[in-house]
Amino acid sequence: MNISKVIIISVFCCYSLSSAGQKFSVGMKAGVLATYTNYVDTGDSLKSGIKPGFSFGGIVGFPMKKNYTFQVEAGYSKQGRVWKYTPNSDQWSSTYNFIDLSMALKKSFRLKIKENISSNWFFTIGPNVNYWLSGKGKMVPYFGIHQKYSMVFDQKPNYSYTQIHINEENRWLFGLNFGIGWHFITLKNQKIFTELRLTLGQTYLGKRHSETLGGTPSISDEMSLKCNLKTLNFSVGYIFDRDLQKGKMGKSTKKLK
């Protein structure tokens, strides 16, 4: 599946919904995140740490009945893995660049904090898709010499120690989002929000021996891609509410005058 086709389809769907529904909201958000790697079939040989990162993107929301909102998001995130190969204490750190796409159903509840301040808390749930763009990283072997590397997809491994060759990988990674947050109105038809979101990755990044460094098959035991990512993201954003019907009514009134 081509990433440009997915983006075009998403934009078309958002445009169709906004045209049909008249009311919608648009906004931007940015946040910091922490990623933990869940390894499979490696026993205790790979010990995961927490990899920090960040994300940013755009939001389009469409209000529904009973304080529900259908929300579509697209953006970019920098995530990755930090792990230790316990048999010889080699330490690894990989950084990944992703395109993020998600849909969510949001339910809002009135939250009374102070008089004359309109605020709500909400929770969200929905599917998440990451497209793996590129990556880089470094290794600190047990004798302490740092080795940096870049990542190359779908090429025959060579004897370079500055490149990790990745084959039989999954560039499309699917997961589930669960979020909880709070927002309040700042100006007319505008609001600021914060959200804490947990993304549970369901797709393995690849196979156990998908990565090769320096053309050495034995070192691939330290680099298993048979794993998925669990990410906790804290973000802050700003939203503008729009009503196309009211806008059309205003224009009609001006013409009559």
The pLDDT of residue 257 is 47
Domains of the chain in start order, with CATH, are 3-252 (2.40.160.20)
Angle at 237 between CA 52 and CA 71, to 5 degrees: 100
Nearest to 210 by CA among 186, 196, 226: 226
d(CA 47, CA 93): 12
- Nearest Cα neighbor of 153 from 212, 93, 108 is 212
Give the pLDDT confidence score for residue 69 in this predicted structure: 94
Q: How far is CA 72 from CA 6, 103, 223, in A?
A: 13, 5, 34
pLDDT of the residue at 248: 56
Listing DSSP states for 65-107 in one string gives: GGGEEEEEEEEEEEEEEEEEETTTTEEEEEEEEEEEEEEEEEE
- Which residues lie closer than 8 Å to 142 by C-beta, 6 or more apart? 88, 89, 90
The tokens describing 46, both together, are: 């790979």
How many Å apart are CA 106 and CA 247, to the nearest integer? 26
- When computed from its CA atoms, the radius of gyration of the chain, rounded to whole angstroms, is 22
Q: Please, are residues 100 and 70 in contact by the beta-carbon 8 Å criterion?
A: no
Question: Cα angle vertex 160, ends 157, 162, to 5°?
Answer: 115
Tens digits of pLDDT across the chain (257 residues): 555 555 545 554 555 554 455 788 999 999 999 999 999 877 788 999 999 999 999 999 999 999 999 999 999 999 999 999 988 888 999 999 999 999 999 999 988 777 767 789 999 999 999 999 999 999 887 667 788 999 999 998 888 788 899 999 999 999 999 999 999 888 888 999 999 999 999 999 999 889 888 766 667 778 889 999 999 999 999 999 888 766 555 554 445 44
